[in-house]
Amino acid sequence: MLGISVTDRLISRWRGWFAPPEQPFRTDLLSPDLQAAIPQRKKEPTDEWRDTFFVYAGTWTWLTEAEFMDLRPGKRRSLLAVRRRTVHPKPLPVWPSELATAGDRLMFDWIATGAVRPSRHRAVPGPVWERAAHRLPRAQQLAGTFPHTGSGPNCLGTVVAATGAADADNRQVAPREFKTWLEQHAEPITGTSQDNEPGVVFVWTEHGELAHATVTIGDGWMLTKPSQAWSSPRMIWTVREAVNSWRYPDTRLLRYRLSDGN
């Protein structure tokens, strides 16, 4: 999966996160008449369901597959049209019955969509990992893995964990915590002259707020986790690929050099 080995146990957990038996549908984008005609059920989504169905804003109702299929075709089409807009550029998640019939390829394709490219951790030469281990003792262990805990672990935690922190890869590291850690363990640098060295933290701000971070492992390679979602692995890309993936309006790239003692 994206060049990463995945256990049967994790795939089993993915199925429940990708195709739960009760699913959220956004209703505030429907017409008032259609909203009134849709069964209303409130439910607090798990972080994993939130990231599968993009439950980040708006008003939602939860339906079972039977309840969804009992709706008139026009209402179903309206709900799916809103879902399609909400989850773009991902394809639509499916019901458990669809996943059982079509197989896990539907889920794998959904995970791969938007990932841009697979992880290239197997292409990193051994001497690069050996040199990186001085500043990034856990980078090789993390590279080419999906978080087994599900959603939450993010790009900031991946950078911190690579330097040796034992728990940062299994939880979400908040921007304020990351900024404090960065001030204590790194110093700002300018220019690209050290981009091929291990231990250069790339930090992107968006509208002035911390938005993303990665860290170089040396020889033009970089450790990155694109998002906090359960479907987002810790990957190795080239520095150029990582930088190009975050070329957005109103973003700014800053660089920091990790100290020898982290």
The predicted structure's pLDDT at residue 154: 96
The predicted structure's pLDDT at residue 261: 61
pLDDT per residue of the chain (262 residues) written in tens, 0 to 9: 788 999 999 999 999 999 999 999 999 999 999 999 999 999 999 999 999 999 999 999 999 999 999 999 999 999 999 999 999 989 999 999 999 999 999 999 999 987 778 999 999 999 999 999 999 999 999 999 999 999 999 999 999 999 998 888 999 999 999 999 999 999 999 999 999 999 999 999 999 999 999 999 999 999 999 999 999 999 999 999 999 988 888 999 999 999 876 6
H helix runs in the chain, sequence order: 8-18, 32-37, 47-53, 65-70, 73-87, 96-102, 105-112, 126-132, 139-142, 155-162, 175-185, 239-244
> What totals of helices (H) and strands (E) does the chain contain, helices first?
12, 8
Q: How far is CA 56 from the centre of its chain?
A: 14
Using the 8-state DSSP alphabet, how is residue 44 labeled?
P
The predicted structure's pLDDT at residue 42: 95
Residue type, position 209, single letter: E
The predicted structure's pLDDT at residue 3: 87
The predicted structure's pLDDT at residue 248: 86
The predicted structure's pLDDT at residue 167: 86
The predicted structure's pLDDT at residue 262: 61
How far is it, in rounded angstroms, from Cα 223 to Cα 119? 9
Can you read off the two tokens belonging to residue 259? Answer: 């100290």
The predicted structure's pLDDT at residue 45: 96
The domains located in the chain, with CATH, are 8-111 (no CATH), 119-258 (3.90.1720)
How far is it, in rounded angstroms, from Cα 16 to Cα 7? 15
Q: How far is CA 189 from the centre of its chain?
A: 27
How far is it, in rounded angstroms, from Cα 84 to Cα 98? 17
Name the CA radius of gyration of the chain, rounded. 21
Can you read off the two tokens belonging to residue 99? Answer: 């996943």
How far is it, in rounded angstroms, from Cα 53 to Cα 45? 10
Unique residue bearing structure tokens 């040796």: 164
Burial of 26 per CB tally in 10 Å (0-12, 13-18, 19+): buried
